[in-house]
Amino acid sequence: MAFGRLEKPEGSRPMSDINMTPLIDVMLVLLVIFMITAPLMTASLRLDLPKSEAATPSDAPTFIAVAIAPDGSLHLGDDALDAATFQQRVAELGRANPQMEVQLRADRNVPYGRVAELIGWVQAAGLSRIAFVAQAAASAP
Protein backbone atom coordinates (compact mmCIF):
# COMPACT_ATOMS: atom_id res chain seq x y z
CA MET A 1 0.00 0.00 0.00
CA ALA A 2 1.24 3.28 -0.89
CA PHE A 3 0.49 5.99 1.48
CA GLY A 4 1.19 9.53 0.48
CA ARG A 5 2.62 12.01 2.77
CA LEU A 6 0.00 14.23 4.35
CA GLU A 7 1.01 17.80 3.95
CA LYS A 8 -0.37 20.41 6.18
CA PRO A 9 -1.56 23.50 4.26
CA GLU A 10 0.33 26.61 5.15
CA GLY A 11 -1.70 28.87 7.44
CA SER A 12 -1.91 32.59 7.18
CA ARG A 13 1.28 34.34 8.09
CA PRO A 14 1.31 37.29 10.50
CA MET A 15 1.16 40.66 8.78
CA SER A 16 4.40 42.55 9.25
CA ASP A 17 3.41 45.81 7.47
CA ILE A 18 2.32 48.91 9.33
CA ASN A 19 -1.20 50.10 8.60
CA MET A 20 -0.74 53.74 7.53
CA THR A 21 -4.43 54.70 7.33
CA PRO A 22 -4.91 55.63 11.03
CA LEU A 23 -1.65 57.59 11.02
CA ILE A 24 -2.72 59.58 7.95
CA ASP A 25 -6.16 60.23 9.50
CA VAL A 26 -4.59 61.64 12.67
CA MET A 27 -2.18 63.82 10.68
CA LEU A 28 -5.02 65.26 8.57
CA VAL A 29 -7.04 66.09 11.69
CA LEU A 30 -4.01 67.86 13.21
CA LEU A 31 -3.49 69.77 9.96
CA VAL A 32 -7.10 71.00 9.99
CA ILE A 33 -6.79 72.06 13.64
CA PHE A 34 -3.64 74.07 12.93
CA MET A 35 -5.17 75.65 9.83
CA ILE A 36 -8.13 76.86 11.89
CA THR A 37 -6.18 78.11 14.91
CA ALA A 38 -3.22 79.76 13.13
CA PRO A 39 -5.11 82.90 12.02
CA LEU A 40 -6.48 83.33 15.55
CA MET A 41 -3.00 83.45 17.04
CA THR A 42 -1.77 86.39 14.93
CA ALA A 43 -3.56 89.05 16.94
CA SER A 44 -1.10 89.30 19.81
CA LEU A 45 -1.73 92.96 20.65
CA ARG A 46 -4.78 93.41 22.87
CA LEU A 47 -6.48 96.78 22.44
CA ASP A 48 -9.73 98.11 23.82
CA LEU A 49 -10.95 99.74 20.62
CA PRO A 50 -13.71 102.34 20.72
CA LYS A 51 -17.12 101.18 19.58
CA SER A 52 -18.91 102.79 16.63
CA GLU A 53 -22.10 102.19 14.69
CA ALA A 54 -20.26 102.94 11.44
CA ALA A 55 -17.40 100.48 12.01
CA THR A 56 -17.07 98.44 8.83
CA PRO A 57 -14.05 96.47 7.67
CA SER A 58 -11.97 98.09 4.96
CA ASP A 59 -11.30 96.34 1.69
CA ALA A 60 -8.12 98.26 0.85
CA PRO A 61 -5.77 96.08 -1.22
CA THR A 62 -2.59 97.40 0.40
CA PHE A 63 -2.48 98.70 3.94
CA ILE A 64 -0.25 98.84 6.97
CA ALA A 65 -1.53 98.29 10.47
CA VAL A 66 -0.46 100.88 13.03
CA ALA A 67 -1.43 100.54 16.69
CA ILE A 68 -0.97 102.48 19.91
CA ALA A 69 -1.17 100.35 23.05
CA PRO A 70 -2.56 101.69 26.35
CA ASP A 71 0.99 102.16 27.65
CA GLY A 72 1.80 104.38 24.64
CA SER A 73 3.97 101.88 22.78
CA LEU A 74 3.84 102.02 18.98
CA HIS A 75 3.32 98.97 16.79
CA LEU A 76 3.83 98.71 13.04
CA GLY A 77 2.24 95.41 12.02
CA ASP A 78 3.36 92.99 14.74
CA ASP A 79 6.60 94.85 15.56
CA ALA A 80 6.84 97.07 18.63
CA LEU A 81 9.00 100.10 17.77
CA ASP A 82 10.28 103.23 19.45
CA ALA A 83 9.23 106.63 18.04
CA ALA A 84 12.36 107.26 15.90
CA THR A 85 12.35 103.80 14.33
CA PHE A 86 8.60 104.04 13.77
CA GLN A 87 8.95 107.35 11.91
CA GLN A 88 11.78 105.95 9.78
CA ARG A 89 9.89 102.78 8.81
CA VAL A 90 6.69 104.70 8.01
CA ALA A 91 8.69 107.12 5.85
CA GLU A 92 10.19 104.18 3.93
CA LEU A 93 6.74 102.70 3.38
CA GLY A 94 5.40 106.10 2.28
CA ARG A 95 8.16 106.50 -0.30
CA ALA A 96 7.56 102.97 -1.61
CA ASN A 97 3.78 103.39 -2.05
CA PRO A 98 2.18 106.78 -1.29
CA GLN A 99 -1.32 105.39 -2.02
CA MET A 100 -1.05 102.81 0.79
CA GLU A 101 -3.74 103.00 3.46
CA VAL A 102 -2.81 103.26 7.13
CA GLN A 103 -5.20 101.41 9.44
CA LEU A 104 -4.87 103.06 12.86
CA ARG A 105 -5.85 101.10 15.95
CA ALA A 106 -5.68 103.19 19.12
CA ASP A 107 -6.78 101.99 22.53
CA ARG A 108 -9.60 104.09 23.96
CA ASN A 109 -7.39 105.02 26.94
CA VAL A 110 -4.66 106.60 24.78
CA PRO A 111 -4.75 110.43 25.00
CA TYR A 112 -5.94 112.20 21.87
CA GLY A 113 -2.71 114.21 21.71
CA ARG A 114 -0.70 111.01 21.28
CA VAL A 115 -3.01 109.88 18.45
CA ALA A 116 -2.76 113.29 16.77
CA GLU A 117 1.03 113.12 17.02
CA LEU A 118 1.03 109.71 15.33
CA ILE A 119 -1.25 111.01 12.55
CA GLY A 120 1.20 113.87 12.00
CA TRP A 121 4.09 111.41 11.61
CA VAL A 122 2.11 109.35 9.10
CA GLN A 123 1.14 112.40 7.06
CA ALA A 124 4.73 113.69 7.13
CA ALA A 125 5.77 110.35 5.64
CA GLY A 126 3.51 111.05 2.64
CA LEU A 127 0.66 108.71 3.56
CA SER A 128 -2.67 110.54 3.48
CA ARG A 129 -5.14 107.65 3.53
CA ILE A 130 -5.77 106.94 7.22
CA ALA A 131 -8.52 104.61 8.43
CA PHE A 132 -9.53 104.55 12.09
CA VAL A 133 -10.30 101.00 13.18
CA ALA A 134 -13.09 100.60 15.75
CA GLN A 135 -15.15 97.73 17.08
CA ALA A 136 -18.64 97.37 15.74
CA ALA A 137 -21.18 98.38 18.38
CA ALA A 138 -23.38 95.57 19.64
CA SER A 139 -26.77 95.94 17.99
CA ALA A 140 -29.66 96.40 20.37
CA PRO A 141 -32.37 93.71 20.18
Q: What is the mean pLDDT of the chain?
A: 80
Give pLDDT, residue 52. 65
From 40, 11, 14, 48, select the one nearest 134 (Cα to Cα): 48
The predicted pLDDT at position 50 comes to 65
User: 3-state DSSP call for residue 54?
Assistant: coil
18-32 average pLDDT score? 92
CA-based radius of gyration for the chain: 30
Model confidence at 48: pLDDT above 70? no
> Helix (H, G, I), strand (E, B), or coil: what is residue 96?
helix
State residue 28's pLDDT score: 95
Q: Are 94 and 86 in contact (CB under 8 A)?
A: no
Gap between the Cα atoms of 12 and 59, Å rounded: 65
Question: Is residue 2's pLDDT more than 80?
Answer: no
Domain residue spans of the chain? 51-136
CATH number for the region 51-136 comes to 3.30.420.270
Q: What is the pLDDT of residue 45?
A: 58
**pTM confidence score:** 0.56
50-61 mean pLDDT: 60
